[in-house]
Amino acid sequence: MGPEMSQFLSGMKKTMEQVVLPNLTDRFAQEQAGIVAATLGFLEQIHDKVFHYELLENHLYRNLLNEVIVVLDGATPPQHEVAVTLAALREHVVSDPTGSDMHLRPYHYVRSANETLKEHLCTLIRNQPELPGPVRASFDALLRPFFRELEVRERAWVKPLGFDAKADELPDIEELLYCDGKLRLPDAG
Amino acid sequence: MANFDFRMPAEMTVHTPTQHLRAAPTADWIAAIRGRFPVESHLDEVLTRKLQNRAQPVEHRTDFDNLAERLGAWLRRVTGQPDLELARLARLSGGASKEQFTFDLTWRRDDGARATRKLILRMDPSESIVETHRLREAQLLRAMWGEVPVPEVLWVDATPASLGHPFLIAGFLEGTVQPEGGKKASGLGMYFEPRLRDGLKDQFVRHLARIHRVDWRNRDLSSYDRPEPGTLQGNAWSLGVWERVWHEDVLEEHPIMEYAADWLKRNMPVVEKPVVVHGDYRSGNFMYTDDLRINAVLDWELAHIGDHHEDLSYTASEILGCPDERGTLLVSGLLPRAEFLARYRDHGGLPVDEDKLFYFDVLNAYKMAVIAVATSLRTAHGRRTHLDAMMNLLSGFGYIAISKLQHLLDDAPRAAQRDLRKQFG
């Protein structure tokens, strides 16, 4: 179906930059129109990767949380927020097990699942101080490498917005998402 | 012409029960969040009002057709001068948190002489990228009058009763905030050419040292809670307000932010000597004249009484800096970090503890992420500002702050080891 989204976006950006902006006289309006043009430029670069980004996040959060369930299992009494969260996570894993047809789901389903997973992970992190020392250390050992990858992925995503002074040192989001022409899903078999 | 429906799709970033509560807070949820985080009383007031207003999903309008009439009526009432004249009301560009307008006011001054003066109106949008209190801003500007260059505050109304939103009116100052070619959103990481750096850098540091030396206990700062010296109180409030804002505003949780909040609580230092902390001291928040004199330190809305290291770390933070022509990172685009700290000491600033600076590096990265990822996206999500497009864009800065936070937390164990080596020789 044409035109492609990128053509819509590129047309709007060009019109904004070459027709609207030069003919605006109000400084506030000029400033805002410039921001709209910059936003359109950003959307041009990422619009076709949004679904795969969420799919990758879903895969990575589920991998991490599967390991977290094992590490934290039995670490607190059953009524504790950690135990309650683990139970909810297990339910989540059962409804959408690893290797399920998540890629066939609508975008908002995947996004919703990711937000739920993030909330559960944050609840567990918030309860870290109440975990026994060795359990906490094991949990921490799972989080550190996950955080390093997450930080690079997010910076690569927002790189086209132009705030990053070290943008040249960062990979493009495309490099992180794809390998051999396919979405890169670590440990997916 | 097509009849566009601007209502938000119901599923847009509101997927979980917590997200629903943040988008449409209930009285119970508001009460719970107020009880969870220690914050100053006047900040609690504005944050609570924000949540109560959010329950009424009203899109922020940028139509100010009758603002001049309403403002004129308010000024006539507070001055008791029915012949007061207001003219040339115009919106200002720049800025990210408040709607700003200039206007000419002709009225009788205290000495009885009738005069015309250009003034600035700073008004809250429906929700701001930083939710702050206009009375606090006015009190602090008045406390700083004569200490460092600041705009003169003339009137303040910290309630939405008169103009629909709280506001402050101050004298307008002519000057440059963003140099030619230095254009950046909100002045973040701005470039100053060498001539400007040479002229401005010493004043920039001197004014910060002066702010930290002001005897705030003898000023009218009734809207500020006063932390006890030698306790955690001041820093607990600094963290408490940003942690509360994160949980009130964020669209989706972020594990690095949760991890950082835990680290910040466990490693919080005491505030030995509470001082006035500007809270946003950087390029973009001062103005200078053509002869390179800083004639105004601006944007005091994040000021509070706390630890001077908070300002030093913030001002010197890498992501607010800009490299010079040889690639050396300059604090606020003006001078290298070591020179910044040395000049601060030379100008009589308070003692600098590098380990405390590390703590505040983490706190400030956390704070910047709260502002630019949580609140900026929340205000745009609710269509609650005059700058919704810019608020979305600013998230790009916020994710760099989270990245910085992650690097600092990775370095924290080594920083702690450095502490031990220092402690035990």
Residue type, B156: V
B177 min Cα distance to partner chain A (Å): 15
* Confidence (pTM): 0.92
Element (H, E) at B330: strand B329-330
What is the C-alpha radius of gyration for chain A, rounded to an integer number of angstroms? 21
| A81 touching chain B per CB within 8 A | no
Residue A112 dihedral angles phi and psi, to the nearest 5°: -60, -45
A137 min Cα distance to partner chain B (Å): 13
Q: Check CB contact under 8 Å for A150 and B252.
A: no
Residues 6 or more apart in contact with residue B221 via CB below 8 angstroms: B139, B140, B143, B305
Q: What is the mean pLDDT of chain A?
A: 92
What are the beta bridge partners of residue B104?
B87, B118
CA B141 to chain centre: 14
Q: Check CB contact under 8 Å for A158 and B16.
A: no
Assess contact for B302 and B334: CB atoms under 8 A.
Answer: no
Read off the tokens for A30.
Answer: 């000029």
Q: Which residues of A touch B92 (CB under 8 A)?
A: 28
What is residue B94's predicted lDDT score, i.e. its pLDDT? 65
d(CA B92, CA A44): 30
Residue of B nearest to A42 (CA): B393
Residue of B nearest to A160 (CA): B396
Whether the ipTM is more than 0.85: the answer is yes
Q: Is A155 helix (H, G, I), strand (E, B) or coil?
A: helix
In which region does residue A92 sit, left (phi positive, over 0), alpha (psi from -120 to 50) or beta (all else)? alpha
What's the full length of chain A, in residues? 189
Option in B91, B392, B403 nearest A151 (CB)? B403
Assess contact for B144 and B214: CB atoms under 8 A.
Answer: yes
What's the full length of chain B, in residues? 425
What are the beta bridge partners of residue B121?
B101, B169
Q: Does residue A37 surpass a pLDDT of 60?
A: yes
Q: What is the pLDDT along chain B (425 residues), one digit of tens a residue?
A: 333 333 444 445 678 889 999 999 999 999 999 999 999 999 999 999 999 988 776 666 656 778 899 999 999 999 999 999 999 999 887 666 788 899 999 999 888 889 999 999 998 877 788 888 899 999 999 999 999 999 999 999 998 888 888 999 999 999 999 887 655 666 677 889 999 999 999 999 999 999 999 999 999 999 999 999 999 999 999 999 999 999 999 999 999 999 999 999 999 999 999 999 999 999 999 999 999 999 999 999 999 999 999 999 999 999 999 999 998 999 999 999 999 999 999 999 999 999 999 999 999 999 999 999 999 999 888 887 778 898 999 999 999 999 999 999 998 876 655 544 443 32
B192 min Cα distance to partner chain A (Å): 16
Assess contact for B51 and B40: CB atoms under 8 A.
Answer: no
Instruction: Return the minimum-mean-pLDDT range out of A16-20, A65-69, B159-163.
Output: B159-163
Q: Check CB contact under 8 Å for A118 and B255.
A: yes
User: Which candidate in B8, B15, B262 is best for mutational testing of the A interface (most A CBs within 10 A)?
Assistant: B15
Beta strand B85-91 with B322-323: parallel, antiparallel or unpaired?
unpaired
Q: Check CB contact under 8 Å for B393 and A108.
A: no
Assess contact for A144 and B377: CB atoms under 8 A.
Answer: no
A33 min Cα distance to partner chain B (Å): 9
Option in B252, B261, B393 nearest A35 (CB)? B393
Q: How many CB pairs under 8 A join A and B?
A: 113
d(CA B53, CA B297): 31
| A32 touching chain B per CB within 8 A | yes
What is residue B281's predicted lDDT score, i.e. its pLDDT? 97
Assess contact for B64 and B167: CB atoms under 8 A.
Answer: no
Tokens 């004043």 map to which residue?
Answer: B203
d(CA A102, CA A109): 9
Option in B262, B387, B395 nearest A128 (CB)? B262
d(CA B312, CA B228): 21
Strand spans (E) along B53-189: 85-91, 99-108, 114-123, 153-157, 167-171
Q: Check CB contact under 8 Å for A163 and B400.
A: yes
Residue type, B76: R
Read off the tokens for B228.
Answer: 């006890």
Assess contact for A184 and A176: CB atoms under 8 A.
Answer: yes
Assess contact for A51 and A110: CB atoms under 8 A.
Answer: yes
Residue of B nearest to A108 (CA): B11
Name which of B83, B335, B22, B396 is nearest B199 in CA terms: B335
Alpha-helical (H) ranges within B25-158 are 27-36, 41-54, 67-79, 134-144
What is residue B412's predicted lDDT score, i.e. its pLDDT? 83
Contacts of the segment B338-344: beta carbons below 8 A, 24+ positions apart: B339/B201, B340/B205, B340/B315, B340/B316, B341/B312, B341/B316, B343/B201, B343/B202, B343/B205, B343/B206, B344/B205, B344/B208, B344/B209, B344/B312
d(CA A147, CA A153): 10
Read off the tokens for A48.
Answer: 């076709």
The gap between the terminal CA atoms of chain B, to the nearest Å, is 77
| A135 touching chain B per CB within 8 A | no
Residue of B nearest to A121 (CA): B255
Residues 6 or more apart in contact with residue B397 via CB below 8 angstroms: A161, A163, B185, B188, B319, B368, B372
Assess contact for B156 and B168: CB atoms under 8 A.
Answer: yes
Instruction: Return the minimum-mean-pLDDT range out of A3-7, A83-87, B300-304, B413-417.
Output: B413-417
d(CA B261, CA B237): 13
Q: Check CB contact under 8 Å for A122 and B15.
A: no
What is residue B58's predicted lDDT score, i.e. its pLDDT? 67
What is residue B93's predicted lDDT score, i.e. its pLDDT? 75
Enter the DSSP assignment of B250: -
Name which of A148, A9, A139 is nearest A73 in CA terms: A139
Assess contact for B73 and B100: CB atoms under 8 A.
Answer: no
User: Which candidate in B99, B368, B403 is best for mutational testing of the A interface (most A CBs within 10 A)?
Assistant: B403
Residue of B nearest to A164 (CA): B400
pLDDT digits (tens, 9 = 90+) for A103-159: 899 999 999 999 999 999 999 999 999 999 999 999 999 999 999 999 999 999 999
Q: Check CB contact under 8 Å for A147 and B255.
A: yes
Three-state helix/strand/coil letters over A50-114: HHHHHHHHHHHHHHHHHHHHHHHCCCCCCCCHHHHHHHHHHHHHHHCCCCCCHHHCCHHHHHHHH
Helix (H) and strand (E) counts in chain A: 7, 2
Name which of A152, A177, A175, A147 is nearest A164 in CA terms: A152
Sign, CA dihedral B17-B18-B23-B29, equals positive
The Cα-based distances of B30 to A162, B24, B213 in angstroms read 36, 10, 37
